[in-house]
Amino acid sequence: MTSPISRDRAPADLLFTFAVIADSHVNPGDDHSSSPWASNRLANERSRRAVAELNRLSPDFVVHLGDLVHPVPALETFTTAATSFQEIYSGLACPLYLVPGNHDVGDKPGEWLPAKSVTEPFLEKYRSIFGRDYYSFDHGGCHFVVINAQLLNSGLVAEQQQRTWLEDDLQRSREQRTFAFTHYPAFITSPTEIGHYDNIDEPARSWLLDRFAEFRVEGAFGGHVHNFFYNRHRDSDHYVAPSVAFVRHDYSEFSRIAPEEGHEYGRNDTAKLGFFLVEVYPDRHVTRVVRDYLRHDDAQASAGGSDGRSLLVAAEQPSAVGVDARQLWTEETQIPYSGVVDEFARKTVRNDYPLMAMWEMGINRLRVPVQDLLDDRIRGRMEELAHSGHQFQVFTYGVPGNEAVSLLTECRWFVSSLEVILPPSQLTTRFTEISRISRTTGLPVHLSAVRTSANDEHGGDDYAHHVRHGFTLDDQAVLQELIATAGFGDAVSGLAFTVARSESPVHSLAAIDELVAGLGLRATVLVKLAADHPGSSEHDDRTTASRVAETLVAAHELHSLEINLDTFGDMDRGYFPRNGLVDRRSNLRSAGLVAKHLTAALPKRTGRASSLAQHRSDDLTWIDFGDGVVVIPEKTCSWDAVRSAVGTAVEPGTRVVDLVTGSAGTVEGAQGLCGGPVLVLRVSA
């Protein structure tokens, strides 16, 4: 599905889409909330924005995972808030299915919980206003099950009634693809984690997971946590949805950095608000994160005639670039007991916000060290993500040992290549070992050379520590000699290159593509976002976003290269400090937004490379490629300057996309100022 979302450009095998939203916490009125946090008073307006965005995306239906309202059933304002919810969500242009949350029927059982637990009177109040609290429905040949998670372990009569109903319902529909919806997720990191505020307690947890496994539930969606998580358990995908209203800021512990000004200690981190759009195909489903719905009505579209719809990466065309995962991309941490929800134990949780950002940008390839494969926990996570389409390029210094080779062989279904980095003195002496590894694992092996400051020539008093790897275009004579060495062809499938910050990505990548094509090889390439000197910082978002735009266009056109951006996340301390695609809170920077919007807006790769031509005039650079032009202003400029620079490519109706804001329109209507990279798509594209 190319973007903006459009039914006429949807993949031919797309069956239907549905949306999943959670935790709207609607207040009795727009100017009042029983919560002490100012951001909670914005909940009603944020729901209106979500409804508007859902209508633009046009799913077949929407499932709301509960906490429809903020006042709990024991408060007098509950009924008024329920009326406000119904008024706001009556604006949806498609059917809405409701799941009861703990704010709607009472908390799960527990004397230590901060609100009263579920009771029969609370259930009756909910049913009288919203209808059934557990039920199922069918759509497009699939079965959808709504479960009242608060009943589990309650001992109420309704608990056993729901259990009996669920067993019978799943049995009757066992030949259908099934999706399940609860408010509390079964778990958020591990099915064996301790019971806490954010999961379903035992013994009901195991009972429910056993039912999901027995009846092959394809996807299970939970809310309540106001943060994003993804797990795979016994062939089922388990998702925890973000909130459309506010963030549960106890999870701000993920970020080793203070919340930004105005974020209410993380509660009002609006970049973490959003919902899911789920695409259902004959053989799979794809869950996408939509988290820019608050921006569209605020930002002035720089492209005239903007339709304001979210730019979402197409399922059949993920990003043409991967990322180098220098930081731990699957970090586990412990959330302190808070005095508000959990007070008697720390929660061990995994930070899935890097994954959420990758999904949003369409990035499915990570370059990781071999130590990730050797770590049982991380390797298990790699295997889980492989079911969602992720691939991993593994690199190692030196020839890997027996344990690593065994794991590479076992995991070759999700390892795309092996990069072996050697000192120059060993480049031609290890081919026999490398050839054996290539035959054993069945993986393509890419060869790389290491360079350190110890081997550099230094003049005067200048000396800077560094360890670099990857061939450069200056190594062509060395490479010619290398591939002529006996045994090279049996051992090596490709070469690994590095493009320094001081080099133009388009020029260097095109030259590398031509070089390796002439040698009959493929190549992996690291495009550096860091400065060439370890003490220099690169924190200019504009220049980094421009570099990412250049790299993505080149990757779209050059098909013998696997290109990775180095790195994914900010390095704001230590050596080579620089901005990445995401900040330390895993929120998309300008570079990340450019990566997302450009991947979403580019036409499908054809497999046929077209010519790349880079031009410059005054303060504008533009890259001409087969389907259009990417314009990169060095500073804020007028749209007249953009139109003038790409005049030969502009026809009436030419589509333009502001790659930072995501707004799209026609080049004739573009007004105001242009502050970042812009895509100009030819009419024929």
Backbone phi, psi, residue 156, to 5°: -70, 155
pLDDT of residue 10: 63
Question: Please, are residues 427 and 395 in contact by the beta-carbon 8 Å criterion?
Answer: no
Reported confidence tier of residue 306, pLDDT bands at 50, 70, 90: very low
Does residue 142 surpass a pLDDT of 70? yes
Average pLDDT over residues 241-254: 95
CA atoms within 13 A on the CB side of 106: 20
Does residue 384 surpass a pLDDT of 60? yes
| Average pLDDT of the chain to the nearest whole number | 90
The more confident residue out of 655 and 399 is 399
> Over the stretch 493-552, which tens digit does the pLDDT of each residue have?
999 999 999 999 999 999 999 999 888 899 999 999 999 988 889 999 999 999 999 999
Does residue 305 surpass a pLDDT of 70? no
Q: Does domain 613-681 have CATH number 1.10.10?
A: no
Residue 682, SS3 per DSSP:
coil
Does residue 298 surpass a pLDDT of 80? no
The count of other CB atoms within 10 Å of the CB of residue 636 is 12
Give the CA radius of gyration of the chain: 26
d(CA 518, CA 510): 12
Q: Tell me the percentage of the chain whose pLDDT exceeds 90.
A: 71
- Domain 22-298, CATH number (from 3.30.565.10, 3.60.21.10, 3.40.630.10, 3.40.50.9100): 3.60.21.10
pLDDT of residue 610: 65
pLDDT of residue 308: 47
Maximum separation of any 2 CA atoms in the chain, in Å:
84
Backbone phi, psi, residue 486, to 5°: -60, 135
Does residue 186 surpass a pLDDT of 60? yes
Give the contacts of 119 (CB within 8 A, at least 6 positions apart).
106, 156
Give the contacts of 254 (CB within 8 A, at least 6 positions apart).
331, 333, 351, 353, 585, 586
Q: At 81, which helix (H) or strand (E)?
A: helix 78-89
Reported confidence tier of residue 666, pLDDT bands at 50, 70, 90: confident
pLDDT of residue 300: 40
pTM: predicted TM-score of the whole model, two decimal places: 0.93
Does residue 484 surpass a pLDDT of 50? yes
The domain locations on the chain are: 22-298, 347-601, 613-681
d(CA 114, CA 339): 10
- Domain 347-601, CATH number (from 3.20.20.80, 3.30.1240.10, 2.40.30.30, 3.40.50.300): 3.20.20.80
> Over the stretch 60-83, which tens digit does the pLDDT of each residue have?
999 999 999 999 999 999 999 999
Does residue 603 surpass a pLDDT of 90? no
